[in-house]
Amino acid sequence: MKNKVLITGGAGYIGSHTCIALHEADYDIVVYDNLSNSSREAINRISTLIGQNIEFVEGDIRDTELLRKIFASHEFFGVIHFAGLKAVGESVAKPLLYYNNNVSGTINLLEVMTEYNVKNLVFSSSATVYGDPESLPIDESSKRSCTNPYGQSKLMVEHILEDLAISDTGWNMIALRYFNPVGAHTSGKIGEDPKDIPNNLMPYISQVAIGKLDKLNIFGNDYPTVDGTGVRDFIHVTDLAQGHVAALNYLDKQINLNESRTIQKNLVGFLPINLGTGKGTSVLELISAFSDVSGKTIPYQFTSRRSGDISSCYASADKAKSLLEWQAKLSITDMCKDTWHWQSMNPNGYE
């Protein structure tokens, strides 16, 4: 029998790409999303791409009764939990909203999962939990610290999952710490669709390239990096989506292994894993790669550093390789090409 998985936040940027990867890997999926930062059109497009209607429930992870109804009417193997708010600046202005949505919402989901004895979880964490790293590349044992409510909400959920794993060895939880997801599906039908002016670099660059924005402000050119601009570990969203399939496959394998033993013991508990490429790319390097694939000049100016930004951040991707047998395959050129394809086919996103 196929494993059925609940995808909270599955209409969003990373969730929509993961739905396709899961379908291709023969998982059954049910998407649960309140559409607060996504649109029904994303659901339609996922359905078109996979050639069948996906099961979609419009709902909030804080709605206990609705969640109960969904868990009562399906037999889930586990949950991939993407649902959450993600804008750092907004989280500073509205901390209660972020803690309520991301932390209380997750607690609510975990409570309902407990009620229905569904204890396999893949959680969307972030490299932001490492704060300003002491050394590079960043591995999973690095110190964690956060400076804004968004990051705190991710860190709090990680702590909650750790405590849960200690309290009950029935839980199997992987926290995937994403580095910088960019790019879009090769079809150009799904991609990142920021509601306002983008905060992140790649969507900002692509909106400059298409002419929606005049020029890019580069936040700082005096960092101790290859060219003075910030360095990040950009990872193609398709690779990231495959990382979720690998995480679910890993949980499935560990659970089967465990069940075949006479003495049952907890094998996964709480497992944090980085999803990155292991390579750093500077802001100027990304602009240059984007110009090459799009044939567009990206006008930019240097401005002061953005408060809270760090100089460099890239992953050690060894743990994902050894445990999940997963590694990123796509290049910076692929990331820029697919972003540009999505942007040019959908100048106004899903509208």
Q: How far is residue 134's CA from residue 140's CA, in Å, rounded to a whole number?
A: 13
Other CB atoms within 10 A of residue 69 CB: 14
Helix, strand or coil for residue 192? Answer: coil
Nearest residue to 235 via CA among 339, 306, 90, 81: 339
For the CB of residue 222, give the shortest distance to ligand UDP in the complex, in Å.
Answer: 12
82 scored as a contact of ligand NAD (CB under 6 A): yes
Q: Return the one option of ligand NAD, ligand UDP, none that residue 296 interacts with (CB less than 5 to 8 A, by type).
A: none
Smaller CB separation from ligand UDP, 255 or 310:
310
Q: Can 130 be counted among the known catalytic residues?
A: no
315-331: string of b/e by CB count within 10 Å (b at 16+)? bbbebbeebbebbbebe
Q: How many CB atoms lie within 10 A of CB 5?
A: 25
Closest separation in Å from C-beta 278 to ligand NAD:
17
Task: Rule CB under 6 A: say whether 198 interacts with ligand NAD.
Answer: no
| Burial (CB count within 10 angstroms: exposed 0-12, middle 13-18, buried 19+), residue 243 | buried
CB 129, min distance to ligand UDP, A: 12
Taken in order 42, 44, 50, 53, the sign of the CA dihedral is: positive
When asked if residue 86 is in the footprint of ligand NAD (CB under 6 A), the reply is yes
Q: Given the complex with ligand NAD, which of 64 and 169 has the nearer CB atom?
A: 64
Question: Using the rule CB under 6 A, which residue among 34, 106, 142, 152 binds ligand NAD?
Answer: 34
Which of the following is catalytic: 150, 223, 250, 314? 150
Residue 275 in contact with residue 235, Cβ under 8 Å? Answer: yes
- Binding to ligand UDP (CB under 6 A) within 280-299 occurs at 283
Binding partner of residue 61 among ligand NAD, ligand UDP, none, CB cut-off 5 to 8 Å per kind: ligand NAD
Give least dist CB 79 to ligand NAD, A: 12
101 binds ligand NAD (CB under 6 A): yes
Comparing CB distances to ligand UDP, the nearer of 58 and 132 is 132
Neighbours of 83 (CB within 10 A): 28
Binding ligand NAD by CB under 6 A: which of 91, 120, 124, 238?
A: 124
Nearest alpha carbon to residue 238 among 83, 85, 49: 49
Coil/strand/helix, residue 305: coil
Positions in the binding site for ligand NAD (CB under 6 A): 8-9, 11-15, 33-38, 60-62, 82-86, 101, 105, 124, 126, 178, 181
Which residues have a catalytic role annotated?
150
Positions in the binding site for ligand UDP (CB under 6 A): 180, 199-201, 204, 216-219, 230, 232, 283, 306, 309
